């Protein structure tokens, strides 16, 4: 069953019933034809409800609420009853079905397939340890923990960047940071931080924003690549704190595509 299409069909029929109820000149819905349409539409709802209940993608409380509203609507349709009662129930069913069932089902279905998509993106990575780490991020995504997936994936990016910069040697790294601070170019003139590292672990204390800026300074990234990697870091920072922001699977896929292309599979970081 195409559940999304079935829900859209139900919403279309419910909208038509709403329209016909509103057109009635009487205070009650007494005509057999309209009441029969309500019951027939309810029959179309039942198998959809069964699939949704078994799939566990949508919230069970919202699903039960819609089912209860349907039961009340069918009970109304058994006999002539005030149309204002129909209007209340129809409005409730339509609103909840659209926002909490249809939209959440579409989003949840994307979550169910996101793992395969992300694994294909990272499959070419040759580092087995890095792949195992990214697998944890992907599993978070499959459990609809998208923010956790974003944060974990960025840790893999940071690991690659730290590894590359450590390979320069501490003295060279300090010198390059000093050179970037002295650079008056448009992209670097705002950088005023003094970094003096004494050991390799000190690099982990540097801000990621400064490290990726240094990667641009060292031409590991061009202007466009730097811009997209900075956007990826902004997404990571937005997901790293308890806020109301929740990226969807489309955003996560784009994020993964960027970080793999820009860093994880970029030969300049190997």
In contact, 187 and 223? CB cutoff 8 Å: yes
The reported pLDDT for the residue numbered 270 is 83
The reported pLDDT for the residue numbered 166 is 96
Residue 83's nearest CA partner among 34, 130, 117, 48 is 34
223 half-sphere exposure, CB direction, 13 A CA radius:
4
CATH topology of domain 3-110: 1.20.120
What is the residue-wise DSSP string for 207-248?
-HHHHHHHHHHTTSS-HHHHHHHHHHHHHHHHHSSSSS----
Q: Write out the H or E segment, with its range, that includes residue 202.
A: none
Q: Domain map of the chain by residue range? A: 3-110, 123-269
- Give the residue carrying structure tokens 């109301």: 244
In contact, 195 and 177? CB cutoff 8 Å: yes
Q: What is the mean pLDDT of each run of 10 residues along the chain (270 residues)?
A: 90 95 92 93 95 87 96 94 94 96 83 87 95 96 91 97 96 97 94 95 95 97 97 96 87 96 95
The reported pLDDT for the residue numbered 108 is 75
Residue 162's nearest CA partner among 110, 104, 202 is 202
The reported pLDDT for the residue numbered 186 is 93
The reported pLDDT for the residue numbered 2 is 86
The reported pLDDT for the residue numbered 192 is 94
């Amino acid at each position: 069953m195409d559940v999304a299409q079935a829900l859209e069909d139900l919403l279309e029929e419910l909208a038509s019933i709403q329209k016909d109820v509103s057109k009635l000149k009487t205070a009650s819905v007494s005509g057999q034809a309209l009441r029969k349409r309500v019951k027939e539409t309810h029959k179309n709802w039942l198998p959809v409800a069964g699939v949704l209940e078994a799939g566990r993608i949508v919230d069970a409380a919202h699903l039960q609420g819609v089912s209860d509203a349907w039961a009340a609507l069918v009970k109304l349709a058994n006999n002539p009853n005030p149309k204002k009662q129909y209007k209340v129930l129809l409005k409730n069913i339509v609103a909840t079905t659209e926002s909490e069932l249809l939209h959440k089902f579409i989003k949840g279905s994307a979550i169910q397939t996101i793992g395969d998509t992300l694994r294909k993106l990272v499959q070419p990575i040759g580092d087995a340890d890095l792949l195992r780490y990214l697998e944890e991020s992907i599993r978070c995504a499959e459990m609809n923990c998208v923010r956790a997936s974003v944060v974990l994936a960025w840790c893999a990016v940071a690991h690659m960047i730290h590894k590359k910069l450590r390979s320069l040697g501490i003295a060279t790294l300090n010198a390059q940071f000093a050179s970037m601070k002295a650079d008056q170019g448009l992209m670097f003139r705002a950088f005023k931080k003094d970094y003096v590292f004494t050991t390799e672990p000190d690099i982990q204390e540097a801000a990621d924003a400064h490290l990726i800026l240094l990667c641009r300074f060292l031409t590991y990234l061009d202007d466009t690549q730097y811009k997209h990697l900075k956007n990826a870091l902004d997404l990571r920072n937005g997901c790293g704190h308890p806020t109301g922001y929740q990226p969807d699977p489309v955003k996560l896929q784009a994020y993964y595509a960027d970080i793999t292309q820009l860093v994880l599979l970029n030969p300049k970081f190997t």
